[in-house]
Structure 1
Amino acid sequence: MNARVGQASGMSSRWSWLVRLLFRRIWLRAALFSLCSVGLALLAAVLAPYIPYDISTKIGSDAVDNILGILASSMLAVTTFSLTAMVSAFAGSASTLSPRATQLLVEDSTAQNALSTFLGAFLFSIVGICALSTGIYGKSGRVILFIGTIIVIAIIVITLLRWIGHLSNFGRVGNTIDRVEKVTTAAIDRSGYALGVASVDRVASIGGHVVFPEQIGYVTHIDVTALEAVASRLGCAIEVQVMPGAFVTTTRAIAWLERRAVEGDADIRAAFTFDHHRLFDHDPRLGLIVLSEIAARALSPAVNDPGTAIAVLGSGVRVITAMVDQERPAAAGSDLVQLPRLAIGDLLDDLFRPIARDGAGIVEVAIKLQRSLAEIAAVTPQAYGLLALRAADALARCEAAMPSKADLEAVRSTHRAWWGKDIRSATSQCAGEA
């Protein structure tokens, strides 16, 4: 039931993961842009002695002052507008799509770069005006400041054009669905988990030594490299009992060792990172859950948007197909650290169960759901029984909730066309395997 660590080699070490998280913070980008802008404004005073005098006389004394004054007034307004647009997009995403999807909008690099650039340009102009008023530049320094101002204006124009184009889709339903699909697919590539058809047995083996966490929360990252170093030092294999996204308490085992070790529990616990909330980086199931939440919100009577649910089903098929494509034979690497397999049944429940429940009375969604399950079965023949079972469950929900007999017959016809008459034997076989 376990996958060797070679299959999860894509999972980064803790430090590289933390650095990646740090660079997603908007305050870091804003601080870096602001520091560079202030440094550029003060650089003119340092380079002033190296500017020929005849060049400095060609630039009027008031040219830089006027441009910096315009930048200071306009960039403050643009920064405020951009921040307002971002907050509105966050609020709209949380209320109409899913609060979990807002995390992806907050980490959008284009929005962060735009806000940071505008804030940095504002600080550049303010520092430049203050420096000019003190007279530290001189005529030669004004040349450097003028050249720096032209560079800043060019950066502002390019950023503003990108930001205007980005605002047309930022926070929209389709754009958010694409973001969730992209980050989920990236989590698959990054983690490299193997898939299993049957349910995953995460109970520690009898005997040996079990390691429990000292805190309560969601597992957000597992440093496989650190675990491998601990296993090599202890001379025994480590079997990881949880995956990123699992909620653990101090009574749930996170690792199992083949034999009792005198030391090593603290190092094993240190390889696990816990948080109060789940993160997308190494948790593909979170992406599927968010997709299903978007579809469920769209299918609510207040929204009544079946098209969004159909779009989510298409994204879900692509994501699960990508997960299936990642399944390979166990890599010939180290056997010191073993990770659990992702159960296909869990992935199907994460995505399709809420849509089957809330879309049972809508014929378009029900038909698309039947086709989506069949399309996954075409690329995952080993999971045919699991998929057939969920297709039958979706049909049963439609029979209980669909008011129109004509619509119900359309769903039944689609079910027969895609699944055939051997559905009962397939579901029975699936139940026997589980």
Structure 2
Amino acid sequence: MNKPVKKAGGMTSRWRWVMRLLLRRIWFRAALFSISSVVLALLAAFVAPFIPYEISTKIGSDAVDNILGILASSMLAVTTFSLTAMVSAFSAASGAITPRATQLLVEDSTAQNALSTFIGAFLFSIVGICALSTGIYGTSGRVILFAGTILVIAVIVITLLRWIGHLASFGRVGDTIDRVEKVTQAAIARSGYKVAVVPAESPDTRGRRSVHPEKIGYVTHIDLKALDEIAERLGCAIDIAVTPGAFVTPGREIAWLEHGNDKSDVEIREAFTFDHHRQFDHDPRLGLIVLSEIASRALSPAVNDPGTGIAVLGAGVRVMAALLAESRTGGSDSAHVRLPQIRIDDLLDDLFRPVARDGAGIVEVAIKLQRSLAEIAVMAPAAHGLLAVRAADALARCQAAMTFASDLECVRAVYRSHWTARAPAAGGANAASEIVA
């Protein structure tokens, strides 16, 4: 059964979510750094009257001009180099890993800070040169501009060193797997959705009012705080019918409630955000899908990289462990809003089915897959039957794909050690008896 939440506070409101998205946009961060740089360059003209004349005479009149000229020319080149490196990383990730992973590279804070710092330093030097040519600084103003230039140079050096170190792993396969795992773990902690290890009972919708969307697209965010306020005002509970990542059309229900009106329906629709593409923020299933895509690309005959497939399975087990732990300890976000549960069989299919299909002929990947399913079964004993069925399916795929008998026998031995000690579900037992015999 869907359970009502006790208090609000996990899944963010729409405005907080929009602000987080805005802060991750590269143009926003670059604009913020650029405005700060221009303000710093012009600030010298206003602070100049407070600088003692003795200090002003110690700074040569041409010192600031020369430094700003060097900054202007060098920062333009460094900015071009950084943009080239970022575009190359995006292209490599899209072609060799998966196009869905490029979203995480575009939102990388280190890359955005580096590019924003270099653009900001370029604008600082250009504005400083223009202001010097007009003579608005005076002798005292040059001192402030000189101090600001030293500060900018220090920031540039620190940023450049971090950027050079970051480029060593930026866009690589291992780095991308870590990014996907991290953002999926964050989505698990943020969303508040629980995993249904056993099939959950559907809410009774007889005689209840259903709310349908007016748009077609993926659910990317649900404002639980707004829904809680609506439910409290109406004096009834709201059952959400979809989770972030679901593809909806006007014919699909997104919520049910006991009573309401056309105005409340509009308000409920406005609490749902739809987009043409899925987002990682509140959609753990997207993270598992991207992980499986990385493994599928690595296990293709053109790439033939079993190590990446094994690394993806390890990351997938950690994500599943986090999902199961959140299901045991986490709570929902509202006192009047009931969230649907994510079915564990959907999660298993998202992660393991592509790997079982594309890695069926590789003994190392097949063995790791069997062990990964067994590790999840230990964490979720109630789902042992579902996991046994998928282990038997993976073994059947290996029997069809492997041509070397010794490799197949190794996979069978691992299967027997993990899955025949305890009786799986009926379907898994029947499939396994035919394969292992």
Give the aligned partner of residue 246 of structure 1. 246
Give the aligned partner of residue 291 of structure 1. 291
Give the aligned partner of residue 74 of structure 2. 74
CA contact (8 A) 1:230 1:268 kept: yes
Q: Partners of 1:216 and 1:72 in 2: how far apart?
A: 48
Q: Partners of 2:46 and 2:181 in 1: how far apart?
A: 49
* TM-score, normalised via structure 1 length: 0.96
In structure 2, list runs of 5 or more residues that go unmatched: 432-437
Cα pair distance change 1:211/1:412, threshold 3 Å: same
Give the aligned partner of residue 18 of structure 1. 18
In the alignment, is residue 171 of structure 1 matched against residue 171 of structure 2?
A: yes
Give the aligned partner of residue 193 of structure 1. 193
SS at match of 2:214: coil
Measured after TM superposition, the shift of residue 336 of structure 1 is: 1.7
In the alignment, is residue 226 of structure 1 matched against residue 226 of structure 2?
A: yes
Give the aligned partner of residue 38 of structure 2. 38
* CA distances 1:383-409 after superposition (whole Å, capped 9, x unpaired): 111111100100011011111111000
Counterpart amino acid of residue 310 in structure 1: I
SS at match of 2:221: strand
Cα pair distance change 1:13/1:143, threshold 3 Å: same
Give the aligned partner of residue 5 of structure 2. 5
Measured after TM superposition, the shift of residue 202 of structure 1 is: 6.1
Cα pair distance change 1:260/1:27, threshold 3 Å: closer
Task: Report the aligned-residue RMSD.
Answer: 1.9
Measured after TM superposition, the shift of residue 194 of structure 1 is: 1.2
Q: Partners of 2:82 and 2:331 in 1: how far apart?
A: 48
Give the aligned partner of residue 151 of structure 2. 151
SS at match of 1:61: coil
CA contact (8 A) 2:398 2:408 kept: yes
Measured after TM superposition, the shift of residue 195 of structure 1 is: 1.3
In structure 1, list runs of 5 or more residues that go unmatched: none
Cα pair distance change 1:430/1:229, threshold 3 Å: farther
CA contact (8 A) 2:7 2:332 kept: no
Give the aligned partner of residue 99 of structure 1. 99
How do 1:6-405 residues align onto structure 2 when only pairs under 5 Å count?
Answer: 6=6, 9-199=9-199, 205-261=205-261, 263-328=263-328, 335-405=335-405
Q: Partners of 2:10 and 2:418 in 1: how far apart?
A: 36
Counterpart amino acid of residue 15 in structure 2: W
* CA distances 1:199-253 after superposition (whole Å, capped 9, x unpaired): 4566872221000001110000001111011111111111100000000001000
Measured after TM superposition, the shift of residue 428 of structure 1 is: 5.8
Give aligned pairs, total. Answer: 431
Q: Partners of 1:200 and 1:38 in 2: how far apart?
A: 58
SS at match of 1:5: coil
Measured after TM superposition, the shift of residue 180 of structure 1 is: 0.1
Q: Partners of 1:355 and 1:330 in 2: how far apart?
A: 29
CA contact (8 A) 2:11 2:333 kept: no
Q: Partners of 1:114 and 1:331 in 2: how far apart?
A: 38
CA contact (8 A) 2:213 2:269 kept: yes
SS at match of 1:245: coil
Q: Partners of 1:129 and 1:200 in 2: how far apart?
A: 68
SS at match of 1:264: helix
Measured after TM superposition, the shift of residue 327 of structure 1 is: 1.5
* CA distances 1:73-99 after superposition (whole Å, capped 9, x unpaired): 100000000000000000000001111
Cα pair distance change 1:31/1:333, threshold 3 Å: closer
SS at match of 1:11: coil
Percent sequence identity over aligned pairs = 71
Moved more, 209-218 or 198-207: 198-207
Q: Partners of 2:65 and 2:286 in 1: how far apart?
A: 52
